[in-house]
Structure 1
């Protein structure tokens, strides 16, 4: 077993949690769930598979929940791996971790993996693959940046390296669940984009310590924000579907690019349009509106 702890954030993940744990058990027995009061049997499944379950109220976003775990849970291992319940490591990545982790140079504190999206049981090879994410780090050397959406782990010191093989984001819920999730995401994404545009929080700059793709993604989003409402969501879909090759992934590829790339981004723009109609460019009004209407404090 490796000197590694896996931390998984959960809320009603009985559909996924057994798969996630089963595929990481060969790496470590130190598996911790930070669970937000699941009622569907998630906790019992995890405990039956040897995981430790700690309940903690949802603080509003994944970054805050994971940072709470780092600050409050005793973790003795050298390395920490962060996973979602609907994610899993491919066998090739598991073998690579077993082989390479004990040999990592002391000046390397983070490891970047490639994430592949499995949508409607099909690998989305076009559009956005590969998404490269810092997901493994030396204990005490990383935390999440403070964002409501699209948050990334950042290194506090030291460098990172990239592994060759993939992990998967493979949610087994239906399309209705997928759409509802993105409806819930839309107001947080809108608030994040308004914060970037107007610096509502006073601290909207890109944080240091992020890996290369995370920095690039944030810079692209800053450029995206400057483009006209609604037109930009269509342009983003066109780029993903035609130029990045999502069309090669069949009907599933069209649905994934359309729902996540055009429909969702249009919904975010609709939220921004609605807020600006009520508040104009008055930053105080925007902040008060977000707090009173959606419970979002910046």
Structure 2
């Protein structure tokens, strides 16, 4: 067992929570399920495990919830792992953690892990670059950056090191659930892109100076470039790039659905939200803020 605490944020995750807990209970000293008042069997399942501590807090956004967990969970370990309920560590990664963490130099305070994307039961390899995320860090050395969308763990001190093996994002919900979730994501992504263009919150201005993983920073800078491209054309071009030029078409029917839904449909919906907001507000930042508050309950 490693000197690791796992923080799992939950809301109605009865489909995933057992798999997630079972996956890490052999390597983690502490497991914290930080719930925002689930109404399904999430907490009933989590209470079946002796080494799971349950905390509850009202949801604001992912970043705020995770930072609340860091402040309020009675963490007694050297390392903290952020893991979503629909994620799990591969057997190879667990072995790598057991081999490397006990002897890891103190100069490394964060560990970057590759992500395995699983969609409709199929691992999607082509069409997108290998995603690497800072998910494991020494307690007290990192927090989540505060933003509506695409938040990352940000180091306060020290350096990161990359490990070889993957953790998996493997959501078991159906496509209706997936679509509804991305409808919710779309307005936050739209605000993120408008923030780059109009400096709504000031968060985007500081992107280049944040100590997040190198790939996350590179991705963030590409988003800044994407934000400058024409509405709707950019979502179509992005899909074509992924599906044809990056060989997404070789991933079969699952790959088509993934790249079409996540790379074109979702991105077009984001642009539609931006079009809606600009049509109502023009380039007036204060009008945008009021519109977002009145229509989407997003306070900036």
Same fold per TM (> 0.5)?
yes
Q: Deviations over 1:168-192 (max 9, x none)?
A: 0000001111111100111111111
Is contact 1:115–1:129 with CA below 8 Å preserved after alignment?
no
Is contact 1:241–1:247 with CA below 8 Å preserved after alignment?
yes
* Partner Cα separation in structure 2 for residue 242 and residue 201 of structure 1: 36
Counterpart of 2:233 in structure 1 is: 231
* Partner Cα separation in structure 2 for residue 208 and residue 184 of structure 1: 26
Counterpart of 2:88 in structure 1 is: 88
SS at structure 1 position matched to 2:2 = coil
After superposing on structure 2, the runs of 4+ consecutive aligned residues of structure 1 that deviate more than 3 Å are none
Counterpart of 1:53 in structure 2 is: 54
TM-score under structure 1 length normalisation: 0.98
* Partner Cα separation in structure 2 for residue 6 and residue 240 of structure 1: 33
Is contact 1:116–1:129 with CA below 8 Å preserved after alignment?
no
Counterpart of 1:190 in structure 2 is: 190
Q: Deviations over 1:136-171 (max 9, x none)?
A: 000000011111011110101110001000010000
Counterpart of 2:211 in structure 1 is: 209
Question: How far did residue 196 of structure 1 move?
Answer: 1.4
SS at structure 2 position matched to 1:160 = strand
* Partner Cα separation in structure 1 for residue 230 and residue 204 of structure 2: 21
* Partner Cα separation in structure 2 for residue 189 and residue 128 of structure 1: 19
SS at structure 1 position matched to 2:273 = helix
RMSD: 0.9
* Partner Cα separation in structure 2 for residue 284 and residue 25 of structure 1: 48
List alignment gaps of at least 5 residues for structure 2: none
TM-score under structure 2 length normalisation: 0.97
Question: How far did residue 129 of structure 1 move?
Answer: 4.4
* Partner Cα separation in structure 2 for residue 203 and residue 255 of structure 1: 32
Q: Deviations over 1:75-107 (max 9, x none)?
A: 111000000000000000000001101111010
Listed as ranges, the matches of 1:286-297 within 5 Å are 286-297=288-299
Which stretch has the larger CA shift, 65-74 or 140-149? Answer: 65-74
Q: Does 1:265 align with 2:267?
A: yes
Listed as ranges, the matches of 1:1-298 within 5 Å are 1-50=1-50, 51-59=52-60, 61-205=61-205, 206=207, 207-298=209-300
Q: Between Structure 1 and Structure 2, how many residues are aligned?
A: 297
Q: Deviations over 1:227-280 (max 9, x none)?
A: 000000001111111122211110100000000000000000000000000000
* Partner Cα separation in structure 1 for residue 287 and residue 72 of structure 2: 36
Q: Deviations over 1:43-77 (max 9, x none)?
A: 11112023111111101x21111011112222111
* Partner Cα separation in structure 2 for residue 36 and residue 212 of structure 1: 31
SS at structure 2 position matched to 1:161 = strand
